Amino acid sequence: MAGKRERSLNELYLDDPERADAVVFGRRAAPGRRGFLKGAGLAALSAAVGGPIAFADRLPSGLLPVALAQGTPPGGPKILSFEGKEGVLVSLGDRPLVAETPEHQLDDDTTPNAKFFIRNNGIQPQVPADPEGWTLTVDGEVNTPLGLSLGDIKKRFPTVDLTMVLECGGNGRSQFNPPARGNQWTNGGTGCARWTGVRLRDLLQAAGVKPSASHTGHYGADQHLSGEAGKVVLSRGMPLAKAMEEHSLVAWAMNGVPLPAVHGFPVRLVVPGWPGSLSNKWLTRIWVRDKPHDGPGMGGTSYSVPIKPMVPGGKVDEKNSRDLQSMPVRAIITSPANGTELGAGARTLALRGKAWAGDFTVARVDVSIDYGATWLPSTLGQPRNRYDWQKWQANVTLPSEGYYEVWARATDGQGRMQPHVAGNWNPQGYGANAMHRVAVLVSA
């Protein structure tokens, strides 16, 4: 009879982090008290991450080393195979199609179409034979309802080009504990493209918005997963003030070429700073309303966060929910990639990344290589226009060989900074923006 197979420390951390913490730190104290690496625990953890742990005395008890999370999901990430993409996106779902971009693939100043994340809610419609004849309706609380072809829109209204971040409302969802429902995004449900189109407000003003108007509702041509004809997949809306903002666009081009089919060809909304679900693809209708929109994806816990904190995993009180509007501040490390190994003698590490903050700008990005005990400021660039992401860079000195974790923390212009772990738990997993960490190993 074969003996019982012992789990490696890596497997133990993935399966039972509390037990792994006790093994590594020798912790038997009351919950909340910090343990310290010592003896066999330090040796075991060093072996698991591939080398001696730099700043081991500062490693917080209970922290799952980021190097040990690289193997999840089992077998590693599933790379998306999709025409027009470079084979770098990680698939999160096939029906509907959902895929994110690994952080190190977001190192470009402007995200190429081939690297841009995908978030579908239904079945992608067929490409129209005559895209210039595609019709967009603007109706509801307006004086003159409009039915404009894409060709008419291009001729009638001024064209603008803006480089802006688009981000899924659930970006960062995998950070929540207990897990929240939905696609388990890390930080890759985002991208920054150059969008070409017209201002949504120009169309609304041409239709003559009535004094009674207060909100919009949006509709696209994608088909419901059920296959039921006419059933709406997702129809979200926003306060009129956001729709009238000069950066909210009806766009037909992405990075200088017509929108790829998967990104909304021939025309889509781009509503920067707020959840990407507002930026309907394959756009067919803008309904101007005298009250908040109530389409699928509005109300209840849809794209909402708690007003007052709720018990993680607890029962939802829908009266304690508000729509998620401006996305939270976030910085990512785009170089080096997580799991980078450097040769013996390497003592300087050049860091690069991107940061953005919903409706706001980023005031600073700080980095740490000693588990947050000390922080160093980065050099932060300015956005090319409002809603562009901001590049940052920093050089750090590595005092020895061994295992390091590089942490990045952004602070917005209102003084709000990224937390160590995701806060304000909610069942749909919105608003998670914990600090980004990458593992780096310097060979002995």
User: Has residue 2 got a pLDDT over 50?
Assistant: no
User: Has residue 409 got a pLDDT over 90?
Assistant: yes
Rounded mean pLDDT, 77-86 = 92
pLDDT for the residue 32: 41
286 vs 42, which has greater pLDDT? 286
Alpha-carbon span 276 to 271, nearest angstrom: 7
Instruction: Please indicate, yes or no, whether residues 54 and 195 belong to a single structural domain of this protein.
Output: no
Question: What is the DSSP code string of 368-389?
Answer: ESSTTSS-EEPEEPPPSSTT--
pLDDT for the residue 74: 58
Instruction: Please indicate, yes or no, whether residues 298 and 336 belong to a single structural domain of this protein.
Output: no
Please say which residue of 285, 308, 323 terminates a domain.
Answer: 323
pLDDT for the residue 213: 98
Instruction: Please indicate, yes or no, whether residues 125 and 40 belong to a single structural domain of this protein.
Output: no
Instruction: Please indicate, yes or no, whether residues 314 and 434 belong to a single structural domain of this protein.
Output: no
Residue 309 included in any domain: yes
> Is the omega angle on the peptide bond into residue 65 within 30 degrees of 0, that is, cis?
no
Q: Do strands 283-289 and 215-220 pair parallel, antiparallel, or not at all (unpaired)?
A: antiparallel
Residue 412 included in any domain: yes
Residue 259 included in any domain: yes
For residue 205, what is the domain's CATH number? Answer: 3.90.420.10
Number of structural domains, the chain? 3
Rounded mean pLDDT, 260-272 = 98
Residue 219 included in any domain: yes
Residue 425 included in any domain: yes
In the 8-state DSSP scheme, what is residue 187?
Answer: S
Please say which residue of 296, 323, 350 terminates a domain.
Answer: 323
Asked whether 98 and 170 are in contact (CB, 8 A), the reply is: no
Confidence tier at 33 by pLDDT (50, 70, 90): very low
What letters, b where the CB count within 10 A reaches 16 and e where it falls short, cover 3-39? Answer: eeeeeebbebbbeeeeebbbbbbbbeeeeeeebebee
Amino acid identity for residue 358 in this structure:
G
E strands in 268-389: 268-270, 283-289, 304-306, 321-323, 330-335, 340-342, 348-356, 362-368, 376-377, 379-380
Alpha-carbon span 439 to 12, nearest angstrom: 19
User: Has residue 24 got a pLDDT over 90?
Assistant: no
Please say which residue of 267, 297, 323 terminates a domain.
Answer: 323
Asked whether 284 and 264 are in contact (CB, 8 A), the reply is: no
pLDDT for the residue 18: 63
Instruction: Please indicate, yes or no, whether residues 97 and 48 belong to a single structural domain of this protein.
Output: no
Confidence tier at 17 by pLDDT (50, 70, 90): low
Confidence tier at 64 by pLDDT (50, 70, 90): confident
Alpha-carbon span 210 to 203, nearest angstrom: 13
pLDDT for the residue 14: 57
pLDDT tens-digit map of 200-231: 999 999 999 999 999 999 999 999 999 999 99
Sign of the dihedral through C-alpha 419, 422, 424, 428: positive
Confidence tier at 69 by pLDDT (50, 70, 90): confident
Instruction: Please indicate, yes or no, whether residues 293 and 435 belong to a single structural domain of this protein.
Output: no
Rounded mean pLDDT, 309-321 = 93
Residue 79 included in any domain: no
Burial of 368 (0-12, 13-18, 19+ CB in 10 A): buried
Instruction: Please indicate, yes or no, whether residues 286 and 360 belong to a single structural domain of this protein.
Output: no
Alpha-carbon span 338 to 440, nearest angstrom: 7
List beta partners, residue 94: 97
In the 8-state DSSP scheme, what is residue 400?
Answer: S
Confidence tier at 73 by pLDDT (50, 70, 90): low
User: Has residue 30 got a pLDDT over 50?
Assistant: no
Instruction: Please indicate, yes or no, whether residues 351 and 318 belong to a single structural domain of this protein.
Output: no
Confidence tier at 11 by pLDDT (50, 70, 90): low
Instruction: Please indicate, yes or no, whether residues 335 and 316 belong to a single structural domain of this protein.
Output: no
Residue 77 included in any domain: no
Instruction: Please indicate, yes or no, whether residues 104 and 220 belong to a single structural domain of this protein.
Output: yes
List beta partners, residue 268: 251
pLDDT for the residue 217: 98
Percentage above 90 pLDDT, the chain: 84
pLDDT tens-digit map of 150-159: 999 999 999 9
List beta partners, residue 390: 355
Rounded mean pLDDT, 293-315 = 95
Domain boundaries, position 161: 90-323
Rounded mean pLDDT, 97-102 = 98
pLDDT for the residue 116: 98
Kindly report the average pLDDT of the chain as a whole number: 92
User: Has residue 21 got a pLDDT over 70?
Assistant: no
User: Has residue 15 got a pLDDT over 90?
Assistant: no
Lowest mean pLDDT among 24-38, 61-75, 268-282: 24-38
Rounded mean pLDDT, 121-137 = 97
Q: Do strands 362-368 and 402-412 pair parallel, antiparallel, or not at all (unpaired)?
A: antiparallel
**Which H helix or E strand runs over 205?**
helix 200-207
Confidence tier at 88 by pLDDT (50, 70, 90): very high
User: Has residue 3 got a pLDDT over 50?
Assistant: no
User: Has residue 10 got a pLDDT over 50?
Assistant: yes
For residue 358, what is the domain's CATH number? Answer: 2.60.40.650
Residue 281 included in any domain: yes
Taking residue 61's Cβ as centre, other Cβ atoms within 10 Å add up to: 16
Instruction: Please indicate, yes or no, whether residues 270 and 143 belong to a single structural domain of this protein.
Output: yes
Q: Do strands 257-258 and 283-289 pair parallel, antiparallel, or not at all (unpaired)?
A: unpaired
Alpha-carbon span 296 to 298, nearest angstrom: 6
pLDDT tens-digit map of 425-441: 999 999 999 999 999 99
Instruction: Please indicate, yes or no, whether residues 178 and 267 belong to a single structural domain of this protein.
Output: yes
